[in-house]
Structure 1
């Protein structure tokens, strides 16, 4: 018989404004400790030196993480022009330099090549797996003679917001799942013929969650294990904001909770659409709508 996990059966989302110098996993562990939660996870890793919104899911809300991971996200970042590094950010070693500097017009023109459906090669210092090994481990071991396959990325928006001096440009990007801002900086520098890497990076929103609404790491420590921290929890349903909602009945909910198709009332969904069913405002299940019923793929267990 497995050991019972200690902690509270608590479900919901806590939005954190992650500071620089700490990993996303460390933030999740701090939140789990502070809320004495049995289960926690996050929706989208941020590099240790990056700041901004890190949405931490607790309990049953962890079942909605994929929907936030798949949602659009927005980043504000500064690119250092004239230098390439082996990590594509300021933490790495400079491996190439150039005295050339593009004009504002050059930069704006080049940004158009990064919009829409693009193919992007992740940084070598990333968590991408190569033959079962993490790319960053291979790179740290000095085995940098490996290739990472390009991956598709949707870039919804990429604009220049400031040019404080010739060496720096501030950009904002809205993109889909799996985007590496460091790769954008690297590839933009290459396109401009001057090299480039990320100097500062901040995720300003992720799906329905915004950095300005997040708690700081210090606030989490100050409010740890108090009712005041619970007050900052957002409902599980926030993680389903991008999915259409359908209503169900007591009888339909009972069937859904057992993993069976349940009757729902739908107005804005069509056959085959993915949606979530609610009863009295609470999420019961996520699934596919077919002929008046929801066929569940995820069921939420309420304490």
Structure 2
């Protein structure tokens, strides 16, 4: 059993909770323990796209980490919390509430490769200890900034289904496209700081993760009813990669670690197929293709 399940994570569950649930369902269906993992953590308050890899699809984690993530999030301006989200306690207030015009101007300045400092309440490791464990003990640590890519941040008025957001006077909704590892809570903090105020993230929904979109996602309840129908083939997550077709003789070689010559291939990673079956991910260098990840 191998492939992907595009789960629409509900509010309140951890990403690990979802993995445990999916693993249990697949074990009941198959009668065997299945290797299962998620491709990118969502906080418990987060909802939306949580791709779950099954079987050898879990080997594609590094490739999936390269993909763009798109979120819908709401930020409350004029106050902030210790966690930078709605689960924390308010630690600072400001009378400065930016206008929509100011928001639109400020978002233009946080695009591109930026140095981002993770929130104190994050899973970052500090001396082998999670930052959130230290924060809960009242220990403030200096977290190192990390380069992340923010492709766009735009204020929006309606949800993806066209429903107008019901927002407070000091609350704005945003759509944000970014690289893996970007903290949306940190974007709320930094955007507010650029406007001379403070803010926290009041909600977050991931609407896209690589080739997985929320319109194609399935709830855990529906997955439990139709698990095999919801398990998608491996190539559903590889649409953005170029494919290279090889024959049976070449397949025998690459699966045994031998590099093969393939004409007209550029440098980079490729989906390697034989007879329509995905064999794995190959890498081309100096005109030679070798199997990098076997599926």
TM-score, normalisation: structure 2:
0.91
Stretches of structure 1 lacking an aligned partner (at least 5 in a row): 1-9
User: Unaligned 5+ residue runs, structure 2?
Assistant: 28-32, 158-164
- Structure 2 partner of 1:208: 211
Q: CA RMSD in A?
A: 1.5
Correspondence 1:82-231 to 2 at 5 A = 82-144=78-140, 146-162=141-157, 164-221=167-224, 223=225, 228-231=226-229
The alpha carbon displacement at 1:217 in A equals 2.0
Aligned partners of 2:204 and 2:286: how far apart in 1? 46
| Partner deviation per Cα, 1:13-66 (whole Å, 9 max, x = no partner) | 000000010000110111111111520111110001100000000001111122
Partner in structure 2 of residue 248 of structure 1: 246
Q: Distance in 1 between matches of 2:221 and 2:34?
A: 22
Q: How many residues align?
A: 282
**8 Å contact from structure 2 (residues 212, 237) kept in 1:** no
Asked if 1 retains the 8 angstrom alpha-carbon contact of 2:75 and 2:173, the reply is yes
Contact (CA 8 Å) 1:110, 1:192: kept in 2 or not?
Answer: yes
**Residue in structure 2 matching 1:50, options 46, 50, 69:** 46
Alignment of 1:23-38 (within 5 A): 23-36=14-27, 37-38=33-34
Query: Stretches of 4+ moved more than 3 A in 1?
Result: 290-293
- Name the CA distance, whole Å, in 2 between partners of 1:34 and 1:239: 22
Separation in 2 of the partners of 1:53 and 1:238? 15
Give the Cα separation in 2 of the matches to 1:66 and 1:239.
12
Q: Quick one: distance in 2 between partners of 1:285 and 1:11?
A: 13
Distance in 2, matches of 1:235 and 1:30, equals: 20
Structure 1-normalised TM-score?
Answer: 0.89
- Which secondary structure state, in structure 2, belongs to the residue aligned with residue 278 of structure 1? strand
